[in-house]
Amino acid sequence: MIRFALLLVGAFLASDVHANNVTNGYECAKISDAEQRLECYDSVYQLTEPTDIEHSLSVIENRRLNEEAVRDNWFAITPHRPNYILPATYNTSPDFSAYGPAGDLFSDTEVKFQLSLKTLLFDELWQNSSISVAYTQQSFWQLYAEDEISAPFRETNYEPEFMWEIPLNHEILGFEARQLTLGLVHQSNGRAQPLSRSWNRVYSQIALDRGNLAVMAKVWTRIDDPDIDDNPRVEEYMGRAEFGFAYRYRDHTFSMDIKNSLGSDYRSGVELNWMFPLAHHLKGFVQIYSGYGESMIDMEQHINRIGIGVALSDWL
């Protein structure tokens, strides 16, 4: 009931946005003439210097504006979630028993990386909303395993996603609600039984910000046929809700992501990230994960992992 109530709240918020089609920065980004576009920004944000535009936007507005600046290109690709590679991650509590004898040759240290991309399908829909598709892939590579098994990819999770994004303009508890997203997502590891893991769900997500702090709340419900369900307890470990926080301080970004089952046992998984300047278009990246649901194959294990590497894109 909690999930459905939150989904209904999200739909209500969407019904009340920008009823009068008030001009905003997103509409300015669509103006092709540079001089007229600048005048539009000046009128919306009341700026005196063009360089003030980026600083006047909230962190979520700035990200959305960056996406809109390139999305008029045919099937332009933009980042969705952070893209990163952690050449060395250490798991303090691994359990490789699911892999049989090969698991005895695995290393506690492995490579973890994520690729996450998004492209626009349709824009300028109801309430200036848009429809996009995204794809996220997260892999765990046993680069440091014993030579007998030749460094296999231990696990890869594939996550295609279809989403309807609706701009918002509401104040909630001192935060500005910026965007409602309604989506359909599939996630699986592409393996045969007994290692196969997969599920499908619909979700509602709201993004808010205040200053340099962005907050996200997401709930979902599973839509798989129970008669052919290979993973009946996936929600107990991968969660039924997710809450994210990201804070930008100068060139540093700190973020926390929490998944929770909302069940009687309240199993959670917590991910902490720190991105910091390293080189042009490249950021240093430190990640800590503790709890359940880090990957589909390990979802029933309580993982404690720390990794360090580089990031190519950020949440904000």
Out of 18, 170, 186, 302, which one is annotated catalytic?
186
22-30: long-range contacts (C-beta < 8 A, 24 or more apart)?
22/169, 24/167, 24/169, 25/57, 25/61, 25/65, 26/61, 26/64, 26/65, 26/68, 26/128, 26/167, 27/128, 29/65, 29/68, 29/69, 30/68, 30/72, 30/124
Tokens of 191: 């393996």
Known catalytic residue: 188?
yes
Are 160 and 152 in contact by the 8 Å Cβ rule? The answer is no
Known catalytic residue: 43?
no
Could you tell me which residues come within 8 angstroms of residue 153 by beta carbon, excluding any fewer than 6 positions away? 139, 140, 141, 142
Is residue 184 packed enough to be buried (19+ CB in 10 Å), middle (13-18) or exposed (0-12)? middle
Quote the CA–CA distance of 159 and 89 in Å, as a whole number.
22
Angle value at C-alpha 308, between 303 and 310, nearest 5 degrees? 130
Residue 114 is which amino acid? Q
Out of 188, 261, 295, 313, which one is annotated catalytic?
188
Instruction: From 77, 160, 83, select the one nearest 121 (Cα to Cα).
Output: 77
The residues that are catalytic are: 186, 188
